[in-house]
Every structure is written in structure tokens, then in C-alpha cells.
Amino acid sequence: MCEHVSVNSKELDSQYLPELRCLVKQLERGEASVVDLKKNLEYAASVLESLYFEETRPIEDPEEELNDIKSDLVPSQVRDWLALTFTRQRDLMRRSEDKPRFRSIVHAVQAGIFVERRNSNTAVLSYPPEVITVFKNVNKWSFDVFTLNEASGDHALKFVFYELLIRYDLVNHFKIPVSAFISFVDALEMGYSKYKNAYHNLMHAADVTQTIHYLLLNTGMQWLTELEIFAIIFAAAIHDFQHTGTTNNFHVQTRSDIAMLYNDRAVQENHHVSAAYRLLQDDEMNIFCNLSKDDWRELRTLVVEMVLATDMSCHFQQIKTMKSLLQTPEEIDKPKALSLMLHTADISHPAKCWELHHRWTAFLLEEFFTQGDKEAELGLPFSPLCDRKSTTVPQSQIGFIDFIVDPTFTVMTEMIEKIVTPLIEEASRSGLTGFRRSSVKSTGSEANCSLNAVDFKSFRDMWNQETHRNKELWKAKAIKGTDTDIQLSLT
């Protein structure tokens, strides 16, 4: 056999096939020499051999442990089983195939593929005029979900979720049957209302979902695929589904059914995602019915990872891991990035304007105190912040902002900056910065989500100013109130 020729199928097509055809013609005319024929046959064999090696080459293992397992010693079935059962290689392999998505999204936008088809959908879910008015602010950090809830007759989640699926063109892209969406979101809202929680209700889910939209819009979402955008919006919408209004610790201490089911680990978070997915098992609610098997699997992997990472007991580990990743030149794992975005949105109200933050805090503390009342009834010690008689709200909020919220926003902003900056540079080199992603409907000047509009400084300044102002206001309350009464602290 002659020496190895490295060739890909494109080269074969463009260079060699015409030559081979020419040789066949020469043979037909009796013009080809035996020497030429032999040379060409040898070359053709080497090309085919090279292609064969390329096709059958074992795929590199991202998991080091698997590198030792040589493909010729281990049957491919066993290799696949090892990869599937003991590593996350399958997911990683699929994601790496998706790599050049930034470009493809840009091209899709340039080609006008993303077109809002609002009219065909509003025929099924009609918007009250008040909701349309409120949605003029949906791209804003200060979006008031309480007003939306009033305008929509206690359906803030339904409208925010639907609005975003339309704006990101996900209803069309994933062929979501709108009737299934309506059945699903109705059941979702009922689950959020099941325990009549002051804080963990459908308004909180709507708030986190809208906050994700803001982050996507203002931090250059072009680094995400449609599937990842769908996954994070869906995860936000379901992330506290059927919340019991009590903490994980309460579940563990009271040995609740779900604590038993999930062995005391991420008890509620496991339940939120599991119960939401169980709704989808009903054909009438299955909004994923038109997803391919691979998309379904990838979406589920992302959603499970994101929702489980909203367990606050993961917080410090999550921040620490991301901080150390930011010190290295390594690429940031997308599921980790998405998880940190969702976690940030989940604790974002202290970084919103005082009117919103104050209201959310009052609701959350009311929920904590209700748990404290139950703990007293059961003869259990009070959980932190749950004793309505002794909890000092302003101090707890200042501590929450200083130790949890500020560091989370800092790391998340740095993370997005690290991901998006190379894209901005790449886009500016190829002259692609000045586009709008037309799938995200612009209702105001702030809706520009082009890469050159990504303004990390303004974003950083904004949440810094809000948290600073909120802390000052809490401090003023702490000085004023010598009492420990929550009602006084919150008024």
C-alpha cells in the first residue's frame, strides 16, 4: 500500500473526483497508460484508507479515566456503557458538536430567520390590554411583577413565560403546541399556589424568569444556543414548583415524605424539578413533544443541573468553583454558567429598587415566621430568621447583601464578561457587532442586545448602586427601630 494521504471528503470531491472521471474517459477511449492507471488506483486506495481511518478514529475522551481504555482492547459496547454510566461524556460530546453556534446564530439573525410570529400565537393566548401595557417594561431591571400579577388576574407566571417563549422564537423553534403550553402552565401555577406561600409563589417564579430575560438581553446572549435559552427560561419558571413554604432543613427535621424520598439532599429542589417533569408525562401538557431525543435529553440535563444548583447549601461551593475557574484560561462550562445565572436571578431582589426589594423581603420574612410558628408548635428550635419575636430584619438583610448577594453578582458579572469579551472581539474583527437579535422584540431603547451594546460597566454600576442604596435604607431602619418587631422594621 502506498503512503498515507490525508484528505477530507471535501478535497476528495473538489480535487480528485474530476481527475478520476477524466481517467475513466481516457480508459473508454483506450488512451490511458497502465502506469497512469496504476498510479491513480494506488492514490484512490490511499484516499479511501485515509477516509476510513478518519471515520473510525476513536473519539477523544474528555474524561481522563477513559483514556486508558484502548478501543481495540475493549469492545465498543463496553466503552459506550462505561462512558454512559460513569461519566458525563455523552453530554460533553454533544455540546462540543454545538460549538460554532455563535456564528450560526449571527448568520441566522442576518438572514432574517428569527421572525416574531406573535399574531399566530396570541390567537390562542390572548393578552388583556393591561398586560400589554405592563409588558412595555419587560426588558427593564425594575420590571414590576406585582403590577403584572394584578393586570393578569394572578397569572404573572403564565404571561411572562409565554411572552419569553414568543420573544425568543422558542414556540416556533421547538414546535411547542400552544394548547399544551397553556395546560402545562395552568398546572404549574396551581402547584405554585398549593401552599399559599407569601414568597415562594407564582410571582416569585415570574420574577426570576423575567430577571433571567434581563440577564440574557443585557449580557450578550449570543453565546447560548436556542436549546440553552429554552432550558434556562424553563428552569426559571419551574425552579420552585410546589414549594412548601418551608426550608430544606425543616423537611429534614420533620422527616417529611420528600426528605425521605430524596435522602435529605436538595430535598425541595429535587422535588421542584421532578414534579414539574412529571406534569410533562401527561400528553396534554407535554410542551417538549416535538423535541428530538437528543434535544430532550440535553435540555433535561441542563434543567436538572440548574434547578439543583438553586439549593442554597451549594452557594459557597458554587461561588468558590467559579472564582477559581475565572483565574484560569480555561473555558467556562456552559451548565455551570447557566446555573450561576439562575442562582443569581433567584436571589436578585436585594439588587432591585427598594420598593421591590422591600416588598419581597416582607413576603419572605412572613413565610419564614410562619415556619417559625410551626416549629414552635412542634417543639422544634427556631430556624434562623424564623422567630418573629427576635429576628432583626435590617441586619439580616445587610448581611445577606454583603455576604451572599454582592459576591454572587460580582462573580456572575465577571463570568459573563469572560465568556462574552472574546465573542465581542471576534465579532468586531468580522464586522458583525452591529446587529440586533430580532427574535427578541424591542419595545424600547434598552432592548438593544447587540454585542457592541453589552455594557458590563453599566450593569455593574446598576446592581452596585441598588444594593448600596438598599443597605443604607436598612441601616437607617436599624438605627430608627429599637424594637425587634418585623412589622415595624418593614414599614
In degrees rounded to 5, what are phi and psi of residue 304? -60, -45
Number of residues near ligand CMP (by CB under 6 A): 10
Grid cell at residue 107 = 448568520
| C-beta separation of 390 from 484 below 8 A | yes
Residue 45 CA to chain centroid, in angstroms? 48
Q: Which residue has the cell 453556534?
A: 101
Is 419 within 8 Å of 337 (Cβ atoms)?
Answer: yes
Of residues 57, 85, 341, the one with CA closest to residue 216: 341
Distance CA 410, CA 400 (A): 14
Candidates 155, 200, 213, 343; catalytic one:
200
Among residues 163, 189, 207, 346, which is the contact residue for ligand CMP, using CB under 6 A? 346
Annotated binding site for Zn(2+): 204, 239-240, 346
What is the C-alpha separation between 334 and 332, in angstroms, rounded?
6
The CB-of-247 to ligand CMP minimum distance in angstroms stands at 7
Residues 319-358: x/- map of binding to Zn ion (CB under 5 A)? ---------------------------x------------
In the chain, what is the greatest distance between 2 CA atoms, to the nearest angstrom?
108
200 flagged as catalytic? yes
Distance between CA atoms of residues 178 and 159, nearest Å: 13
Residue 125 CB, shortest distance to ligand CMP, in Å, is 26
Give the x-and-dash track for 298-317 against Mg ion (CB under 5 A): ------------x-------
The angle at the Cα of 152, spanning 148 to 154, to the nearest 5 degrees, equals: 90
Choice between 240 and 305, CB closer to ligand CMP: 240
Least distance (Å) from ligand CMP to the CB of residue 143? Answer: 17
Taking only Cα atoms into account, the Rg of the chain, rounded to an integer number of angstroms, comes to: 28
Task: Choose the stretch contacting Zn ion; rule: CB under 5 A; options: 21-29, 60-68, 236-244, 392-400.
Answer: 236-244
Do 145 and 207 form a contact (C-beta atoms < 8 A)?
yes
Report the nearest approach of ligand CMP to the CB of residue 356 (Å). Answer: 11
Q: Which is nearer to Zn ion, 298 or 346 (CB)?
A: 346
Nearest-angstrom CA–CA distance, 302 and 213: 17
240, 295, 387, 466: which one contacts ligand CMP (CB under 6 A)? 240
Packed helices 293-308 and 89-97: angle between N→C axes, nearest 10 degrees: 110
- Among 7, 157, 233, 364, the residue binding ligand CMP under the rule CB under 6 A is 364
240 binds Zn ion (CB under 5 A): yes
Shortest reach from residue 377's CB to Mg ion, in Å: 24
Q: At what angle do helices 406-429 and 315-326 cross, to 10 degrees?
A: 40
Q: Which is nearer to Mg ion, 161 or 459 (CB)?
A: 161
Among 237, 338, 341, 347, binds ligand CMP (CB under 6 A): 347
Q: With beta carbons less than 8 A apart as the criterion, state whether 212 and 341 touch.
A: yes
Q: How far is the CB of 361 from ligand CMP (least distance, A)?
A: 5
For 372, the grid coordinates are 417559625
* Contacts of ligand CMP in 276-315 (CB under 6 A): 310, 312
Question: Binding Mg ion by CB under 5 A: which of 207, 226, 228, 240?
Answer: 240
Q: What does 397 bind: Mg ion, ligand CMP, Zn ion, none (CB cut-off 5 to 8 Å by kind)?
A: ligand CMP
Distance between CA 290 and CA 167 in Å, rounded? 19
- The catalytic site residues sit at 200
Residues in contact with Zn ion by the rule CB under 5 A: 240, 346
Residues in contact with ligand CMP by the rule CB under 6 A: 240, 310, 312, 346-347, 350, 361, 364, 397, 400
Residues in contact with Mg ion by the rule CB under 5 A: 240, 310
